[in-house]
Amino acid sequence: MRHILSLLLENEAGALSRVAGLFSARAFNIESLTVAPTEDPTISRMTVVTSGSDAIIEQITKQLNKLVDVIKVVDLNEYRHIERELMLIKLTAQKTDRDEIKRMVDIFRGRIIDVTENTYTIEMTGTGEKLNAFIEALDDSIILEVVRSGVSGISRGDKAIQS
């Protein structure tokens, strides 16, 4: 089963490679990984999307907690949560296609953020599933570049995951 793990870790050189190294050394799956500093610049937030049986997820959580740089690990699947991913996508947009692409972007509640004579660059957020749906709705031949951020997640309600 797919799980979203939210980690707080020391914002130190090497902390990212410790996490990445752990996943490869122990043959754990990793679908996406995002990391950036939090409101406290000494702490980074990392969101890891992984998959595995309950026993494997338990082991992943424990092994992450064991890393000396890791302050906290939370499995967001255990909470009501929201997940979002950012996609930047560049499309060929010839005159005749422009209206149709614009309508599609509106339907998916994206925004066109850069325009040239031949292209549109679009920004879109949502679940991975929604972003996939947008890509599938497009004609493959007009897709020039896809840049996706990987998943970020946060719990719903008053509860906050803090160090």
Partner 1 sequence: MAKKREILRGAEIFCRALKDEGVKHLFGYPGGAVLHIYDELYKQDAVQHILVRHEQGATHAADGYARATGKPGVVLVTSGPGATNAVTGIATAYMDSIPLVVFTGQVPTHMIGNDAFQEVDAIGITRPCVKHNFLVKDVKDLAKTIKKAFYVATSGRPGPVVVDIPKDVTADSCEYDYPKEVEMRSYRPVVKGHPGQIKKAAKLILSAKKPMIYSGGGVILGEASQELIDFSRLLGYPVTNTLMGLGAFPATDKQFIGMLGMHGTYEANMGMHHCDVLIAIGARFDDRVTGDLEKFCPYAKIVHIDVDPSSIAKNVPVDIPIVGDVKHVLTDLIDLIKNDKEKPDAKALKSWWQQMHDWAAIDCLKFDRTTDVIKPQYVVEKLWELTKGDAYVTSDVGQHQMWAAQFYKFDKPRRWINSGGLGTMGFGLPAAMGVKLAFPEETVACITGEASLVMCIQELSTCLQYNTPVKIISLNNRYMGMVRQWQEFFYSSRYSHSYMEALPDFVKMAESYGHVGMRIEKTSDVEGALKEALAMTDRTVLMDFVTDQTENVYPMIAAGKGHHEMHLQPDRELA
What are the residues binding partner 1 (CB under 8 A)? 9-10, 13-14, 17-18, 21, 25, 55, 58-59, 62-63, 65-66, 68-71, 163
CB of 8 to partner 1, least distance (A): 8
CB nearer to partner 1: pick between 16 and 86? 16
- Please state, in angstroms and rounded to a whole number, the distance separating the CA atoms of residues 114 and 57: 41
CA distance 44 to 52: 25
In the complex, minimum distance from the CB of residue 38 to partner 1, in angstroms, rounded to a whole number: 13
DSSP string, 78-104: GS-EEEEEEEEEEEE--GGGHHHHHHH
By beta-carbon proximity to partner 1, the closer residue of 55 and 160 is 55
Q: How far is the CB of 22 from partner 1 (least distance, A)?
A: 8
- 48, 5 in Cβ contact below 8 A? yes
What type of residue sits at position 95? K
For partner 1, the closer of residues 33 and 122 by Cβ is: 33
